[in-house]
Amino acid sequence: MHNLTVFAGLAFDPGIRGILVVMVGFGVLCGSTYLLLATNIGSRLGLLVAFTGLFGWLVILTLIWWISPPAIGPRGNNAGWKPVEIYVNGPETPRTLEVGKLISPSDLPSADRILGDNPDLAADFPNGFILSDLQASHPEIVEQYITKESLEGWKLVPSSSAGESQAAADAALVSAGIYKGPTEYKKLDTWEFGGKPTREEECADSDVICRVGYRIQKTINLKHPKHYAVVQVQTVIVQEPKVGEPPPLPKVDPAEPVISVVLVRDLGDVRLIPFLYFVISLSLFVLFAWVLHNRDKTLMVNKAQAQEAAKGA
């Protein structure tokens, strides 16, 4: 009765159904091929030929997977940002050496100062802005207040390009228990350091020789410099929404410190699993082909010995 209860609890959709579909498909396709081979060249030789053809086809398939990993199927982990540390600017010092070079949030120009020097920005940003917002639409204004020398290798990331790192920072802040949700803080500026330089940073569009050299160097360079990102957030003031009005815009609490989330770029291993499948398929294909080769050599030796024995008789 216990076994009947277990079988009755099995759901045929989608798990068991998927297993049965694969088993039936494998039995019909591979089984029909083996049946034709077995009736023509024998059961043992037909099995060897069927397995050799199967793994030969799998070698081609897994090679395609290795070159271009499928969207759904055997593939490794995608690249993404991984949290390294979370520290409070001011009382705490970052453990990551490269982050110590990052300019302090207190040394950055305020939005009111930039708006006072450039009143036309009020029309583009009626709800206020941060430096990352300006970097996306007015990078020339940001360069007036922050020089490359003062950043010491760090780059200000435009808000339009910081979505992936900010999402990773949201998950890190919530999992660390610092905030209960993203509504309790406001994202400030996002910074990046390291990584491979882009072609736009290395060469001008008109410099063809530099672009060719950059392409060659990028191809032969197998090392990946560490790529860091820092997402800065600050606690917001709690505001009660009013009935019939849209939710109030978040305002940072100036009394609260800026919290920085340090992230490092994980390049992932998307092609690792397809490569392992390719190695396994290639090994089995070579094994069965080697067995067939040895069988042919043995068969030829036996035929030669039989012919000599027939001549001697």
Nearest to 104 by CA among 114, 91, 117, 118: 91
Q: Are residues 151 and 232 in the same domain?
A: yes
Gyration radius of the chain's alpha carbons: 32
Domain end among 244, 266, 288: 266
303 by DSSP, 3-state: which?
Answer: helix
User: Which residue shows structure tokens 């009111």?
Assistant: 112
Q: Are residues 289 and 159 in the same domain?
A: no
Range of the domain at 276: 2-75+271-312
Q: Are residues 183 and 234 in the same domain?
A: yes
Q: Is the per-residue pLDDT at 259 higher than 90? A: yes
Question: 133 lies in a domain?
Answer: no
Q: Is the per-residue pLDDT at 1 higher than 90? A: no
Domain end among 247, 266, 285: 266
Q: Are residues 163 and 185 in the same domain?
A: yes
* Token pair in block for residue 43: 């059961």
Residue 21 is predicted with a pLDDT of 84
Q: Are residues 236 and 301 in the same domain?
A: no
Question: 193 lies in a domain?
Answer: yes
Q: Are residues 70 and 153 in the same domain?
A: no
Report the predicted TM-score, pTM, of the whole model to 2 decimal places: 0.74
Q: Are residues 162 and 70 in the same domain?
A: no
**How much is the mean pLDDT over the chain?**
87
Q: At what angle do helices 43-67 and 272-312 cross, to 10 degrees?
A: 150
The CA distance from 233 to 266, in Å, is 22
Dihedral angle sign, alpha carbons of residues 285, 287, 288, 292: positive
Q: Are residues 36 and 94 in the same domain?
A: no
Give CA separation, 312 vs 89, 159, 303, 305, 308, in Å: 98, 91, 14, 11, 6
> What are the pLDDT digits (tens) for 205-258?
777 788 888 788 777 777 778 999 999 999 999 888 888 888 888 889 989 999
How many structural domains compose the chain?
A: 2
79 by DSSP, 3-state: which?
Answer: coil
